[in-house]
């Protein structure tokens, strides 16, 4: 067990390190960061002085070495745009994003899994047709279009829901629905195909032959076994939700990590971008780890792997 944990830890560090290195060099290709956060009436020599003081005139290798050295101590520097510690800024946004991700995933599960199961249990029926077409529609409609339509309907015309921001459970409704429409769609389709596969397996046929009630066949025997791909997707989706809900966060003025990262990218705020990448890689590998542990519980056959 210990060897397993150590090896996972090693893999985590490797992935994090590679991510940071790749992004470090990638963002620098985007252009001069100093231009964007200084006023437009700045003189060339003052521009250079700022660049000098922030260390951007040093050779790339030196900058990289300095960055790694500081990063190892958890210091990602000060944001170029805001006068705040970069890592602190990123971490302060994490709770809002996590809350939204958890809520959206919850809604996704509650909608997608039942729809997927129903469709799989009655393949070719009207229920299947409607469910899967609805799912495909959910993936086809751009999120921001849906979000803006919802704001117009529910906030401006009906006044039922607030237009954005955080603050009350009501604020969660529209962002969650918009996010879930995409992820639930995917998950419904995956659930359907996964359950379909399991239903064809021998042990299910056996259970049916034994005369067990349909409900038990599905509930007890099928679900746990079809869960693996679902859990995998959920893990991937959580990672995507943390940083990928940019559009939803922008439209609903949600103070989340995705929006912060995109703005940092556009503003060439390197310290914040790198701090965000760090948080993403760590979270992603942690989730992967949790998913693997969950595999072990769901399907003991996979437990032997180390």
Q: How far is the CB of 187 from other proteins (least distance, A)?
A: 10
Q: Is position 141 an interface residue for other proteins (rule: CB under 8 A)?
A: yes
Q: Nearest CA to 26 among 66, 72, 69, 60?
A: 60
Q: Is position 260 an interface residue for other proteins (rule: CB under 8 A)?
A: yes
Binding residue (CB under 8 A) for other proteins from 56, 64, 94, 128: 128
Site for other proteins in 29-88 (CB under 8 A): 29-32, 35-44, 46-47, 50, 53, 81-83
Other CB atoms within a 10 A radius of the CB of residue 223 amount to 17
Binding residue (CB under 8 A) for other proteins from 1, 61, 140, 306: 140
Nearest CB to other proteins, comparing residues 186 and 212: 186
Q: Is position 208 an interface residue for other proteins (rule: CB under 8 A)?
A: no
Binding residue (CB under 8 A) for other proteins from 265, 289, 292, 294: 265
Q: How far is the CB of 199 from other proteins (least distance, A)?
A: 11
Q: How far from 35 is each of 38, 43, 46, 103, 206, CA to CA, in Å?
A: 6, 11, 11, 39, 69
Q: Is position 180 an interface residue for other proteins (rule: CB under 8 A)?
A: no
Q: Is position 267 an interface residue for other proteins (rule: CB under 8 A)?
A: yes
> Which positions ≥6 away from 24 have C-beta within 8 Å?
64, 67, 274
Q: Is position 124 an interface residue for other proteins (rule: CB under 8 A)?
A: yes
Q: Nearest CA to 175 among 64, 78, 253, 227?
A: 253
Q: Is position 136 an interface residue for other proteins (rule: CB under 8 A)?
A: yes
Q: Is position 92 an interface residue for other proteins (rule: CB under 8 A)?
A: yes
Cα–chain center distance at 123: 31
Q: How far is the CB of 290 from other proteins (least distance, A)?
A: 14
Q: Is position 290 an interface residue for other proteins (rule: CB under 8 A)?
A: no
Q: How far is the CB of 221 from other proteins (least distance, A)?
A: 18
- Residue 85 pairs in a beta bridge with 78
Other CB atoms within a 10 A radius of the CB of residue 68 amount to 13
* 220-229 long-range Cβ contacts below 8 angstroms, 24+ apart: 222/195, 222/198, 223/117, 223/195, 224/298, 225/198, 225/201, 225/298, 225/299, 226/191, 226/194, 226/195, 226/197, 226/198, 227/194, 227/298, 228/194, 228/295, 228/298, 228/299, 229/190, 229/194
Binding residue (CB under 8 A) for other proteins from 177, 183, 268, 295: 268
Q: Which residue has the tokens 């359907």?
A: 192
Nearest CB to other proteins, comparing residues 63 and 92: 92
Which among 60-68, 153-161, 208-216, 289-297 is the span making contact with other proteins, rule CB under 8 A? 153-161
Q: How far is the CB of 174 from other proteins (least distance, A)?
A: 11
Q: Where are the alpha helices (DSSP H) in 218-269?
A: 223-244, 246-251, 257-266
Which among 2-10, 104-112, 136-144, 214-222 is the span making contact with other proteins, rule CB under 8 A? 136-144
């Amino acid at each position: 067990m210990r060897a397993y944990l150590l090896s996972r830890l090693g893999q985590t560090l490797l992935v994090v390190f590679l991510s940071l290195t790749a992004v470090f060099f990638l963002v620098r290709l985007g252009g001069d960061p100093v231009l964007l956060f200084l006023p437009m009436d700045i003189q060339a020599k003052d521009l250079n002085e700022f660049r000098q003081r922030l260390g951007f005139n040093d050779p790339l290798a030196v900058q990289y070495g300095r960055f790694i050295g500081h990063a190892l101590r958890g210091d990602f520097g000060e944001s170029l745009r805001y006068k705040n510690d970069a890592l602190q800024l990123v971490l302060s946004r994490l709770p809002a994003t996590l809350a939204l991700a958890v809520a959206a995933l919850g809604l996704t599960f509650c909608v997608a899994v039942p729809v997927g199961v129903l469709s799989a249990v009655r393949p070719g029926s009207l229920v299947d047709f409607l469910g899967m077409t609805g799912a495909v529609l959910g993936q086809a409609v751009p999120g921001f279009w849906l979000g803006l339509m919802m704001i117009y309907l529910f906030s401006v015309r009906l006044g039922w829901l607030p237009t954005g921001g955080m603050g009350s459970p009501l604020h969660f409704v529209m962002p969650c629905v918009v996010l879930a429409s995409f992820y639930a769609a995917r998950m419904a389709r995956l659930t359907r195909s996964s359950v379909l596969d399991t239903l064809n397996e021998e042990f299910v046929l056996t259970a049916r032959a034994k005369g067990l009630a349909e409900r038990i066949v599905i509930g007890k025997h099928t679900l746990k076994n079809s869960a693996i791909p679902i859990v995998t997707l959920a893990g991937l989706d959580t990672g995507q939700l943390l940083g990928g809900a940019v559009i939803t966060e922008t439209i609903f003025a949600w103070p989340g990590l995705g929006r912060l990262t995109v703005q940092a990218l556009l503003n060439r705020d390197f310290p914040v971008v790198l701090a965000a990448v760090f948080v993403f890689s760590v979270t992603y590998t942690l989730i992967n780890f949790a998913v693997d542990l969950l595999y072990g519980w769901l399907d003991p056959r996979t437990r032997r792997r180390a």
